[in-house]
A = this chain, B = another copy of it.
Amino acid sequence: MYKKILVAIDISAEGDQVLGAAQELVQMHRADATVIHVTDNPRTFYPSVYGEIAGYDFTFDEQTFRNSLLERLAKLSEPYGFDKDSVAVEFGGITEQVVAKAADINADLIVLGSHGRHGIQLLLGSTANGVLHHARCDVLAVRIKDT
């Protein structure tokens, strides 16, 4: 039914739950898949987080940062059958980047994690809401189990 699935994950234990569900779906639908991780543009947080250590005149190497994230993402995704050529890291707002990537690869399904309405989880839940509203394709919210 679905031919191209975009899996949006955090690099965390919760990412594992989403990847596990996505793996089953991808196999069942014999779909192609891309795994995406979105994070804030490092230029906006790097100086304030690392400035004191690295010096404010530190020249931030975006490509090195992206590569290290890609490596972590590939390592996390590989046990679930997603090879390193199917992972992507984007910088910016989560909703915008996920929706843009879905359009870019012509995804017919976006899979992401969803939380309940409690504390920090509300914030995370708003990602699912935003994607739900703006995506032009189906969206599956995988319920993250509290660990």
Contact = CB atoms under 8 A, between A and B. Distances in A.
Given A138-B21, A138-B141, A125 B132 contact: yes
A29, A135, A139, A142, most chain B CB atoms within 10 A: A139
Contact of A134 (B1, B21, B117, B142): B117
A133 B140 CA distance: 13
Contact of A138 (B125, B135, B140): B140
19 contacts: A1-B21, A1-B24, A1-B25, A1-B28, A21-B138, A28-B28, A114-B132, A117-B134, A125-B132, A128-B132, A129-B129, A135-B143, A136-B143, A137-B143, A138-B140, A138-B142, A138-B143, A140-B140, A141-B141
Interface of A: 1, 21, 24-25, 28-29, 114, 116-117, 125, 128-129, 132-143
